[in-house]
A and B are shown apart, each in its own frame.
Chain A
């Protein structure tokens, strides 16, 4: 009997040493994105992965608070559609009506541009009445958004760097590819902006020639001559369903490489028509956002061979696990949604490094601590490796790989990490 009591005492002591005290506190975070409308899948994917990441953090004991106790994390995900008004309404709701320490989102760059604008532009500017809560974006990828406010940060890929390296690699490995031609969905800021200001310039920088002769003003420098790029291309709109004219123009151009800068839905529409017209080129290059499951579901046959730089592919153990968890939660992991996993882990890391009590009475002070903690980060651990932070702009430099559509899957063809 006595031995039994002693062993229970040892067990209890060992348990208390091994398991830090659990706090009653819950650390709340909020997420929002498009869970309705045409871009619904983006929000669904993000939410699936945020939920999985929160579950993982909690399974591992939660997050360590300032006093050394552990707290569970909880997330509430809101549907902001792809609508600026709704995005702002959610941002205000989260900032003023919840105890969320930080937000993750939104999906659309237009919503990000609007909702970042209602945040305080510069911290400690008493004359600026904008919202004061940190936001760490996973999806909205249009260039340069995070600098709208010092409270907004992004963990989205750096497209200028990715396309620069992609074309350098293509130039080296596919010397037979000489000429390029392309098009974009002009009513989508990300697609059109990246195409006309980044992708074509990167291609020209690495020696590829526009098929009909040089485009005036385009010398390889980012943004230079972007209007002429658009007017020299054959473009469409996101709501278009007929691409026969554009496909004919692509085919007629006879270029070695076609650049298709568009979201999955229109990428598929366009490629199906191009395929029907037997106009497939020697090489296809796509927009980062198209390296997703939606494209494969929509047109795996026609997209075959397309090369895209992406900041996510299931090539590491962690990335494979996230892809599996996303699927189990009813979503899919891609370069946008996988960033949500990283964001949750970054938030956990920051909470633990700056010391958070989780006490709602300190909410505003702790939101500020989180912001300062995010700003202080120089690197974070991503699913594909170390992510560097460009902190004066609140942006990230993420590792990436080049994937190619092969037999219904995105296969990694080059890993420049």
Chain B
């Protein structure tokens, strides 16, 4: 079971990473900065549990808040631009963050062992879970509780006015602005919320893998982050969930024996979805189909 729990861990933090991109995509913004926020959460929470011996919960919380604050600050200049320029700006931000951690060396001795980030050598010994007797199912429980909370919050957001505002900006920014919505503020709040979720995901990632280095936070991971909601569809938060299960669970893990061909399949999947399901797998028709199916089943049961 350890292996399957391990896969669930991986799926969990990828779902959260996908959600962080999803919330911003609702406003029509394609950001590759999520991986930068993910890195901030990973390093911040790792430093707190390893160097300062904090408990995991406050460490994850501070990691998420730190990433959220950074997203908020980055949001001001970044979200004044859009489209391709925003993509370039957010890649640049992620690279800056990556290179900061690439050069970060902050180590001291704890219990006879020198620990802490060590530049290009990475940051190892982030062993809070194993060292504190957490069984793997407890870690999975923690990660998926976070995923469930995030899913419920994002689903609920979609049911209230705030969600409608996000989608209104995503559909037509000019029209939304004309109807009195402060577009920049909303986008910055969405960016900050995405940053918090990515930071939380990064914290969970660092403690699950026990090691992070600058190579973890590349543009490839940023591409995965935005591809989950794009492939899954923006109609529902469950699209991102489905896409992560498909890409990480089946494509990456299930087809491990295919080696490099998995990358080709991933590229082919993106091309296919963009061409045949431009609104993602879980689009309006899919949601409608599911609703009708459920309604039909209800009638039959009655």
Contact = CB atoms under 8 A, between A and B. Distances in A.
A189 B1 CA distance: 33
B263 A117 contact: no
Interface in B91-150: 102, 105, 120-122, 124-127, 129-136
Given A186-B120, A189-B121, A129 B3 contact: no
Interface size class of B (residues with CB under 8 A): 35 or more
Nearest to A142: B121
A110 interface: yes
Contact of A36 (B1, B121, B216, B260): B260
A319 to B, nearest CB: 29
Interface of A: 35-37, 40, 78-79, 84-86, 88-90, 92-93, 95-97, 110, 113-114, 117-118, 120-121, 126-131, 142, 148, 186-189, 192-193, 227
Contacts of B252: 86
Interface stretch (B72-80, B207-215, B239-247, B267-275): B207-215
Contact of A96 (B3, B102, B208): B3
Contacts of A227: 105
B121 A127 contact: no
Contacts of A113: 121-122, 124, 211, 213
Contacts of A36: 259-260, 262-263
**Which among B102, B130, B214, B252 has the greatest number of chain A C-beta atoms within 10 A?**
B130
B189 interface: no
Contacts of B208: 88
A86 B121 CA distance: 19
Contacts of A110: 122, 211, 213, 215
Interface in B154-184: none
A189 B209 contact: no
A127 B213 contact: no
Contact of B124 (A37, A88, A117): A117
A118 B210 contact: yes
B130 A78 contact: no
B276 interface: no
B210 A117 contact: yes
Interface in B232-264: 252-253, 256-257, 259-260, 262-263
19 contacts: A79-B256, A79-B257, A84-B211, A89-B6, A92-B3, A93-B3, A110-B122, A113-B122, A114-B124, A117-B130, A118-B130, A120-B130, A127-B131, A128-B133, A186-B120, A187-B102, A187-B215, A188-B120, A193-B121
A114 B123 CA distance: 9
B215 A129 contact: no
B71 to A, nearest CB: 23
A34 to B, nearest CB: 10
Contacts of B134: 129
B186 interface: no
A121 B1 contact: no
B10 interface: yes
Contacts of B213: 110, 113, 189
Contact of B127 (A96, A117, A188, A193): A117
B210 A129 contact: no
Contacts of A79: 256-257, 259
Contact of A40 (B7, B102, B210, B260): B260
B109 to A, nearest CB: 14
A129 B129 CA distance: 8
A88 B130 contact: no
A86 B257 CA distance: 12
Given A92-B3, A97-B3, A142-B121, A128 B211 contact: no
Contacts of B259: 35-36, 40, 79
Interface string B1-39: 111011100100000000000000000000000000000
Given A84-B209, A85-B10, A187-B215, A131 B2 contact: yes
Given A129-B129, A129-B130, A130-B130, A114 B6 contact: no
